[in-house]
Amino acid sequence: NSSYPIPDRMRQADLMHQTPQEAAAKSTSCIGCHTDVGHMHPINTIQIGCTDCHGGNADCAEISKAHVNARFPEAWAGAANPVRSYTLLNHEAPEFVRFVNPGDSRVAHIACGQCHAKEVLQLRTSMMTHGCMLWGAALYNNGSVGTKRPRYGESYSMHGVPQRVFTVPTPTEEEIRYKGVLPYLEPLLAYQVSQPGNLLRIFERGGRFRAETGNPEQLDTSGKTRERLGTRGLGTENRTDPVYIGLQKTRLLDPTLNFLGTNDHPGDYRSSGCSSCHVLYANDRDSIASGFLAKYGNRGLAADRTDDWVRAVDPTIPKNQSGHPIQHKFELRMPTSVCMSC
């Protein structure tokens, strides 16, 4: 698949049948610092090393060479998930995205997909990833498109490029009409080429003066729109569809699983892709919603000691820095508070 190529060194990898010795060789320098990081999977279920998932160089003890460096290091000031990173992952190299989070939807086929190919495909076509329900409803209900059938959805290639996604094989008309199967989804149009859903907007009376940025006009008539629709063609000045602009410029989906959580306050600490749900963060102190996670608080902090659930504590992770998972471990028993982070 040209959108999600497999790195050359991983093409012949057979992670399901590695020996413990082969796996250990891929973690040699990593565990020199991360001495008690713990296994992501239940012990003795699979033999994989650190670089099988994260990439990097397990043969080098120098951090700058063992780790994968970011294109925008100022955005990754620490080891925690950055605050309000939004589309940052689309601009980082896939090697770095994999290093930070092997479960990210751009790179999950390299690590997770070696064993869970079906689940990775389901993640990329999930409503929580493409978000077509919200976009489709907003565009139809506000008169921007003339059909209830969603056409637009969010999807990115391994290099962060917006892409069209197809259903293979193409669904029949019966499947589309009665089962809700969509033949394709494509990226939103650039808002500049959109047109107002209601052309009667061109008859709205504007103010008496042309608006100038940073120079308000005190003598203008109150209650009138500040910008006239202008004499130029559709798609210019105010002659665009505010719904398209709203979908592209506002945080409506909090965001989708394509990106990290905002990691700025309780309830929004999470990773992206597969790790959004299966790697748990401390988000909610209420035991009704969080269950066994409640005791870890709501500040997105890593656990500072082992207990009946936390089985390892990585000494390199600051315990007073928000934006870290509670521990380095996958979980299948996610409480409802995890769902509420999206």
Residue 39 one-letter amino acid: H
Q: For residue 177, is pLDDT > 90? A: yes
**pLDDT per position as a tens digit, 82-93:** 999 999 999 999
Which helix (H) or strand (E) element contains residue 166? strand 165-166
pLDDT band, residue 99 (cuts 50/70/90): very high
Mean pLDDT, range 301-318, rounded to an integer? 95
The residue that leads in pLDDT, 230 or 292, is: 292
Q: How far apart are CA 21 and CA 326, in angstroms?
A: 28
Instruction: From 81, 84, 61, 59, select the one nearest 70 (Cα to Cα).
Output: 81
Instruction: Specify whether the CB–CB gap between 96 and 67 falls below 8 A.
Output: no
Q: Which of 50-54, 150-154, 194-198, 228-232 has the lowest mean pLDDT?
A: 228-232
Residue 235: predicted pLDDT: 64
Quote the CA–CA distance of 132 and 154 in Å, as a whole number: 7
Confidence class for position 252, pLDDT limits 50, 70, 90: confident
The one-letter amino acid code at 194 reads S
Mean pLDDT, residues 26-46 taken together: 90
C-alpha distances out from residue 8 to 3, 11, 51, 52, 161, Å: 15, 5, 14, 13, 21
With 0.95 as the threshold, say if the pTM is over it. no
